[in-house]
Structure 1
Amino acid sequence: MNTDAAPVAPVILGIDDLRPLPRATRIARTSHEGIRLLREHREVFIDELWLDHDLGGDDSIMPVVTVLEEAAFNGHPFQIGMIFVHSANPSGAETVVRVLQRWNYQVRRTTAESP
């Protein structure tokens, strides 16, 4: 048995059109890119997922939220340690938190600079 295995780096994903999110290991800038990023990590434990509601123009995080909802509805939710919602849009952020908590995801409203 090899006890010298290197520790696995945390998977921290961010979906935000503007913020740099320095803790993130991968960042998507649109909802379309965000959905692709989630699908790439479908069978991987995601330690943190950072979500911004407004993604520029008419784009928002809601298509990504729908993917997370559908996965939970189908009995195979994404395995995510904590989802952080860091939007400057208070009503949009509260909607995201409320929807995802309904599907038993761990969600917290925060600022993008918080750990």
Structure 2
Amino acid sequence: MHPSLLPELRPQTPLVVLVDDTRAFRDRRSHLQVRRGHDAVELLRAVGDRQIDELWLDYELLGGTTSVAAVDHLVARAERGNRLGVDVIEVHSARVPEALHITQRLQRAGYRARRCYVQGIWTRFDPATHDEWRPDASAGIAEHPTSRRADASGPADVTEGFRA
């Protein structure tokens, strides 16, 4: 379970969500990561009404998907008067026109969204050392924060978005 989802640890462990197919955090901060647009929507649904401290959005994602589906989900919630609690949304896409568009849509919906140009915080996503959260029909977010793959040595231990 991601530590920020345990009520007793919530004040000490921020909930950080990264929607990006090629980048990961260089500093190995605790986070939940998705690499496909539809998975981003499912993760936001699984988070429910929990407060997200940071939501990082790339535009272009795996499988020809984009973060537009996640943005649509966030905007629709705001329009229904049920805005997702997010402290800040950092839009860090290299696709400038698309990033500007989704940033403006989120701002108009009342979210604190901004363009992020910081480069030094990233490392390349490596499936051997990083994990991504994938929806699982039989498990909620508490039971399934990242995908767990088995290898020759058995199930991998997953800690805060990275293989231990």
TM-score by length of 2: 0.63
Partner of 1:10: 14
* Structure 2 letter corresponding to 1:63: A
Partner of 2:42: 36
Match of 2:24 among 20, 23, 32: 20
**What is the DSSP-based 3-state SS (H/G/I as helix, E as strand, rest coil) of the residue aligned with 2:64?**
coil
Q: Is the 8 A contact 1:51 1:61 kept in 2?
A: yes
- Tell which structure's C-alpha radius of gyration is larger: 2
Pick one of 60, 64, 74 that aligns with 1:58.
Answer: 64
- Summarize the Cα distance change of 1:15–1:8 in structure 2 as closer, same or farther, 3 Å threshold: same
For 1:18, the aligned partner's letter is: T
What is the alpha-carbon distance in structure 2 between the residues aligned to residue 114 and residue 107 of structure 1?
20
CA distance 1:24–1:93, shift in 2 (3 Å): farther
CA–CA distance in 2 between the matches of 1:24 and 1:85?
19
* CA distances 1:57-112 after superposition (whole Å, capped 9, x unpaired): 52111011000010000000100000000000000100011100001100111136
Q: Quick one: distance in 1 between partners of 2:15 and 2:52?
A: 5
Identity %: 32
Structure 1 portions without partners, runs of 5+? none
Q: Show the counterpart of 2:104.
A: 98
Would the aligned equivalents of 1:86 and 1:93 in 2 still touch at CA under 8 Å?
yes
Q: Deviations over 1:8-33 (max 9, x none)?
A: 31000010011013435100000111
Q: Residues 62, 44 of structure 1: CA spacing in aligned structure 2 closer, same or farther, 3 A cutoff?
A: same
**RMSD between aligned residues:** 1.8
**Alpha-carbon separation, structure 2, partners of 1:87 and 1:110:** 8
| Aligned length in residues | 111
The change in CA–CA distance for 1:32 and 1:23 in structure 2 (over 3 A counts) is same
From the superposition, tell whether residues 14 and 112 of structure 1 become closer, same or farther in structure 2 (CA, over 3 Å). farther
Length-normalised TM-score, structure 1:
0.88
Which residue of structure 2 lines up, in the alignment, with residue 45 of structure 1?
Answer: 51
Change (3 A) 1:114 1:81: farther
